Amino acid sequence: MTIETINIGPNGDLQTRLRLYFKPLVEKAISKQSFNPRIDSQFYLVNLLASAVRTKNIFMPKAIFNGVEYDEVPIALQYMSAFESDEYNKTGTMKKIGDYTLFKIGFFPKSFSRKSVKIDYYMRMGSSAYSTISWKENDLFYELSRHFPLFCETLWIVSGNDKNKDDLLARINSDEIMH
């Protein structure tokens, strides 16, 4: 099953053109894997990629916590802050954490080799964030949480990181990234 094509004219808006660009890339990446995600999950990835063209939509803003300025707010602080928020803000923050970790792992897996916090931590935080905002066992965020590593691999393939390299999941489980 594939994502339905959106019909637009030659002067369609940027987001629509980006969705049309990323749609076949996501479908091709999924076809290389051994799972068949729901259509809304595929569409979610397409929209995530289209919105990521503007980095402010994906990356965490600079912030000051307890007098310390962070270029990127640590995920643990965001996660903790979300649980202290009302339900609306909690949902938004958890979605942002899930999206950020999914994108970062998929597109920049090598960045974890230079950090004290490794990729498995980001995997757990992203999966947990999506799980927190899941309403029932069969919804979009449940699937994103349950198959988080596979969705990371999908973005990894879309990014072109899979060219002449080992499988991302194998790298995640290897000593090279985990330790």
For 104-127, the pLDDT digits (tens) are 999 888 887 777 778 899 999 999
Query: How far is 102 from 3, CA to CA, in rounded Å?
Result: 20
Q: What 8-state DSSP symbol labels residue 112?
A: G
Q: What is the enclosing helix (H) or strand (E) of 64?
A: strand 63-65
Residue 67 tokens read as 């007098």
The candidate with the shortest Cα–Cα distance to 97, out of 83, 114, 118, 110, is 83
**CB-based contacts of 163, cutoff 8 Å, min separation 6:** none
Of the candidates 106, 89, 122, the one whose C-alpha atom is nearest the C-alpha of residue 155 is 106
pLDDT digits (tens, 9 = 90+) for 9-64: 455 588 888 899 999 999 999 999 988 999 999 999 999 999 887 766 666 666 66
pTM over 0.85: no
Domain spans in the chain, listed from the N-terminal domain onward:
14-57+97-167
Report, in this order, helix, strand and coil percent for the chain, each rounded to 5. 65, 5, 35
The answer for residues whose C-beta is within 8 angstroms of residue 28's C-beta and 6 or more apart is: 157
Q: How far apart are CA 171 and CA 165, in angstroms?
A: 9
The Cα–Cα gap between 59 and 61 comes to 6
**Average pLDDT score over residue span 99-105:** 93
- 8 vs 137, which has greater pLDDT? 137
- Would you state the structure tokens that stand for residue 21, as one six-digit string? 């660009």
Query: Mind listing the pLDDT tens digit for each residue in 64-96?
Result: 666 777 677 778 878 888 888 898 889 998 999
